[in-house]
Chain A
Amino acid sequence: MTVQVDDQLWSAIADPSRRRVVDLLVDNGEASAWSLAGHVPFSRQAVSKHLVVLEDAGLVRRRKQGREVLFQIEAERLDQASRAMADLAQQWDRRLASIKRLAEAAHAEGKKARALTVGRRPS
């Protein structure tokens, strides 16, 4: 019933700047830290750090081409991340539906009981 979101995956995508890096890689395919840094408001060092976190979480992989290091999205892992989030949202939907059912049933019960009490009062 419970879905554990992989901690490492979660913290990797929880940071908006890392999501920005993921977005860029999704849009551009392969890219180096240098070229990514041209599209974000943070330094190349920061981009490199984010890439390491994303790589550790399995969301990107690196490849050497000559002297350049190119990064690319791991589509399967990204898909897994989206599914994990969708599961989490669905779990809350189920819980909220249960809360709704319980509270509304209790409220209907309470109303019925009050109606009976009121109904008896005149006699």
Chain B
Amino acid sequence: MSGLVIEREVLIEAPVDLVWRTITEPDQMSQWFADRVDLVVEPGAHGYMQFGDQGGPVVVETVDPPTRLSFRWNYPRGEEPVTGNSMLVEFALTPMGDEQTRLRVTESGHELRDWPDAEKQRYADEHSGGWPKFLDRLVGVLTKPSR
């Protein structure tokens, strides 16, 4: 109900600490994320990611080892990323026993920024029975875990 979100999930046969290191250590990040990762994983840290000949700045938001990491990217050059001008990427790690970790990633966009709360609530109430139409159905299809 919180705006447009892409959500994906994977079950990993490894303990949560190890998965945390894989997603936060720069030399590991460069193996699954960008070609070059210039980032310190600390709240508020500004970094840079290079993808081929493209790249962009990243700002770390939440660091809560070993279960939560979030950062913002895709914001206009020269601006500070805030809700409304950037994309928020959040990783959530859930230990499933000692040997397994569920890793979920969500990427969400410019959400509801010019909507008064009362109207938001009213809309949510009126559609709590489900408002899955075209784009929302699409979002639903996209967010089904693939494995």
Q: Enumerate chain A interface residues (CB-CB to B < 8 A).
A: 1-2, 4-5, 7, 10-11, 13-17, 19-20, 22-23, 26-27, 41-42, 78, 81-82, 85-86, 88-89, 92-93, 95-100, 102-104, 106-107, 110
Partner of A103, one of B22, B109, B111: B22
- In the assembled complex, which residues on chain A have CB atoms less than 8 Å from the CB atom of B135? 13, 19, 22-23, 81-82
Partner of B8, one of A16, A96, A110: A96
B126 and A41 contacting across the interface, CB-CB below 8 Å: yes
- In the assembled complex, which residues on chain A have CB atoms less than 8 Å from the CB atom of B110? 10-11, 14-15
B32 and A98 contacting across the interface, CB-CB below 8 Å: yes
- In the assembled complex, which residues on chain B have CB atoms less than 8 Å from the CB atom of A85? 6, 138-139, 142
| Distance in angstroms between the alpha carbons of A20 and B112 in the assembled complex | 13
Q: Closest approach, in angstroms, between the C-beta of A77 and any C-beta of chain B?
A: 12
- In the assembled complex, which residues on chain B have CB atoms less than 8 Å from the CB atom of A78? 134
| Distance in angstroms between the alpha carbons of A1 and B146 in the assembled complex | 20
A-B contact pairs, 11 of them (CB 8 A): A2-B54, A14-B111, A16-B1, A16-B131, A86-B142, A88-B107, A89-B143, A96-B8, A98-B32, A103-B18, A106-B22
Q: Closest approach, in angstroms, between the C-beta of A35 and any C-beta of chain B?
A: 17
Hey, what's the 0/1 contact readout for B124-140 against A, CB within 8 Å counting as 1?
00100001011110110
Q: How many residues of B contact A (CB 8 A)?
A: 48
Q: Enumerate chain B interface residues (CB-CB to A < 8 A).
A: 1, 3-4, 6, 8-10, 12-15, 18-19, 22-23, 28, 31-33, 51-52, 54, 74, 87, 99, 101, 103, 105, 107, 109-112, 115, 119, 122-123, 126, 131, 133-136, 138-139, 142-143, 146
A89 and B119 contacting across the interface, CB-CB below 8 Å: no
| Distance in angstroms between the alpha carbons of A104 and B99 in the assembled complex | 10
- In the assembled complex, which residues on chain B have CB atoms less than 8 Å from the CB atom of A98? 31-32
B8 and A89 contacting across the interface, CB-CB below 8 Å: yes
- Using known A-B contacts A7-B74, A41-B119, A41-B123, determine if residue A1 contacts B52 with beta carbons closer than 8 Å: yes
B109 and A10 contacting across the interface, CB-CB below 8 Å: yes
| Distance in angstroms between the alpha carbons of A20 and B134 in the assembled complex | 9
- Using known A-B contacts A7-B74, A100-B12, A107-B13, determine if residue A17 contacts B123 with beta carbons closer than 8 Å: yes
Additional A-B contact list (18), CB under 8 Å, known A10-B4, A22-B134, A93-B8: A4-B74, A5-B74, A14-B4, A15-B111, A15-B112, A16-B4, A17-B123, A20-B133, A22-B135, A23-B131, A95-B33, A96-B9, A96-B105, A98-B31, A99-B12, A100-B103, A102-B31, A106-B18
